[in-house]
Amino acid sequence: MGLDWVRFRKNYKKVSFKYSSSVPMEIKIGNRLIGDGHPALVTAEIGQNHNGDMDIAKKLINLAHEHKVDAVKFCKRSLNLTLPKELNDAPYIGPNSFGNTYGEHRRNLELSEEDYEELSKYCKKKGLIFHASVCDEDSADLLDDLGAPLFKIASRDLINMPLLEYVAKKGKPVIISTGMSTLREIDDAVKLVKKYNDKLIINYCVSAYPSNYDDIDFGYIPFFRNRYKTLIGYSGHTIGILMPTIAVAFGACAIEKHITLSRIMKGTDHPGSLEPLGLMRVARDIRNTEKSVKGRRCTLNVANMEKNILKSESSVKQRIGKSLCTKVPLNKGEEIKPEMLCVKTMGGGLSPRLAPFIVKGVPKEDIQTDKILREGDIDFKFPTDGEISDAVSKFEWNKLLWR
């Protein structure tokens, strides 16, 4: 706690707090009200810290139940819909690798649909809200069929407009994380989701694993609330226990923090996760903070903040960001149609937000199926930020899905 506070104070020693009791916001998740005047939704994020092992997954659920958090969250992918061949076949050798290629690595970390059904029932018996970050439409359908009361969209999919629209149309609450994103990208994501669904929580997040204290700026919590007129949460990846508690003091209504049986376990997320004692302390400190704030929320004068991708997030975005990809071969000079494109995992390609303008262009050369589109591949007029925002709510994003 001492070291956490020293690092935090370095950035926030000049902050002055004000609290507001203005018109409250709230949404219902399952039987739980979230928002102003209600306890924060505390989620123990298991993600893929189960390492592909159901016994570990259940031990982590037991840990969450023991320390009285509200929810657990996994991460569900349909690898055939999310990995292009280039990334699937790429060598992936290292201390945290579970396979010789990235595809093999990911497959070894995935739980089956039957496993998810079993885990859903296990969480229900424990009184925990069960949900997952969904990375594609099939995963969203699975979680919907299992009765998950909300959907989580991870930071990497904030620009995955087809997925955002697909999930928003289901009508359940949506939580979107905002790591490795710009303010314009967040604006467009919020605009698209709110077109269909106003049950939205935006998580402030830094997508570095673990995150540096110097990169955390909790001013974004009141800033996002004022800008988007919606509830704000925090998804944290720092080492230590202090940041989630401070996020609640700044007004976060939902907290996500990875948990693990041991931070020295194999896997990229374990070092920044909470071990059992850490989870106990975070859950305790959040509830004690709520008692002292007494239902009021923090408001700061943060009207002019900007947001860009941090240096610490760049390599993560390059590895797990989302780009436009071909569903079918594209012929040189032939007009591109929406149903020829999809969105897959790999950074460095053309952003999915550009799809409304790509479909008005033509390939400069023949392009094979399952190929990430990159700058220079397509002849099209590059739009302004304003033109992108205007197109977000008008484009037929469903045509980029696989069905």
Higher pLDDT, 23 or 160: 160
Q: What is the token pair recorded at 350?
A: 């053309």
Instruction: Check residue 5 and give its pLDDT.
Output: 44
Higher pLDDT, 249 or 17: 249
pLDDT higher than 80, residue 11: no
CA atoms of 182 and 275, how far apart (whole Å): 32
pLDDT higher than 80, residue 403: no
CA atoms of 143 and 149, how far apart (whole Å): 9
Domain boundaries, the chain: 2-298, 321-400
pLDDT higher than 80, residue 401: yes
Domain 321-400 sits in CATH at 3.90.1210.10
| Burial grade of 264 (CB within 10 A; 0-12, 13-18, 19 or more) | exposed
Q: Average pLDDT of the chain?
A: 92
- Give the CA count within 13 Å in the CB-facing half-sphere of 136: 19
With cut-offs at 50, 70 and 90, classify the pLDDT of residue 17: very low
With cut-offs at 50, 70 and 90, classify the pLDDT of residue 297: low
Beta-carbon contacts of residue 332 (< 8 Å; ≥ 6 apart): 362, 363, 364, 365, 366
Instruction: Check residue 294 and give its pLDDT.
Output: 72
pLDDT higher than 50, residue 251: yes
Instruction: Check residue 16 and give its pLDDT.
Output: 41
CATH of the domain spanning 2-298, picked from 3.20.20.70, 1.10.3720.10, 3.30.2450.30, 1.10.10.10? 3.20.20.70
3-state secondary structure of 254: strand
Tens-digit pLDDT profile for residues 301-354: 666 789 999 999 999 999 999 999 999 999 999 999 999 999 999 999 999 999
pLDDT higher than 60, residue 132: yes
